[in-house]
């Protein structure tokens, strides 16, 4: 007989694990962002090592500072995407999917929510960050932007090396220029893990059937 009946203890563990991951990521992400935003000016950097800096920047766009579409559309798109993936996570928690797959999906959802919180609330509750002043918390509605128009806080910068000046096209440029945040990292790691280890599971969608060999 095909083994397609979820194991109840396993499902219960996965429910708890997914909740712990999402809450932990959100708490860590927001602590880092609020600390940076209220203690640093835009463009200020702190050198941790020669190849790692805390560099405070803000962006209106997608992960790693990309700006492709309008701010409002992007915020609404994020809400829709988070809603879909949350629904999907709830579905797979009751179908005996591999625990590792649940973990990766949870990281992606948590990272997306983390950046959405910036867009939803930071404009409402913070004064504007500038190259000369640090932001401060203010009364709700007295911040620098309306609901859904807040800027995403980024801070992790890894200038691993600079290309030699003699190299065409990239000479003098930093090898890895994007500045990103903890939420971006969770999304990226989750997506990479999905592509490397769970492509078959993704392709099968909600028609997946668990086997004893998968974890």
The residues annotated with a catalytic role in the active site are 154, 184
Q: Are 150 and 120 in contact (CB under 8 A)?
A: yes
Q: Are 150 and 119 in contact (CB under 8 A)?
A: yes
Cα–Cα separations (whole angstroms), residue 92 to 87, 107, 208: 9, 15, 9
Q: How far apart are CA 39 and CA 34, in angstroms?
A: 8
Cα–Cα separations (whole angstroms), residue 210 to 16, 66, 164, 206, 213: 19, 38, 51, 11, 8
């Amino acid at each position: 007989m095909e083994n397609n009946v979820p194991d109840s203890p396993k499902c219960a563990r996965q429910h708890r694990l997914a909740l712990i991951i999402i809450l932990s990521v959100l708490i860590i992400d927001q602590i880092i962002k609020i600390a940076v935003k209220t203690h640093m000016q835009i463009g200020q950097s702190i050198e941790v090592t020669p190849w790692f800096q805390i560099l405070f920047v803000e962006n209106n766009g997608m992960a790693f500072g990309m700006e492709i579409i309008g701010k409002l559309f992007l915020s609404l798109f994020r809400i829709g995407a988070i809603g879909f993936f949350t629904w999907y996570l709830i579905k797979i928690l009751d179908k005996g999917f591999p625990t590792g797959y649940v973990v990766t999906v949870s990281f992606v959802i948590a990272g997306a929510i983390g950046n959405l919180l910036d867009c939803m609330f930071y404009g409402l509750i913070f004064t504007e960050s500038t190259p000369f002043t640090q932001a401060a918390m203010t009364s709700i509605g007295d911040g620098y932007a309306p609901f859904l128009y807040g800027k995403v806080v980024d801070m992790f910068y890894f200038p691993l090396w600079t290309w030699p000046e003699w190299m065409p096209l990239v000479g003098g440029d930093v090898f890895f220029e994007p500045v990103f945040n903890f939420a971006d990292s969770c999304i990226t790691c989750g997506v990479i893990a999905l592509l490397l280890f769970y492509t078959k599971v993704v392709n099968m969608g909600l028609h997946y059937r668990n086997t004893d060999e998968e974890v």
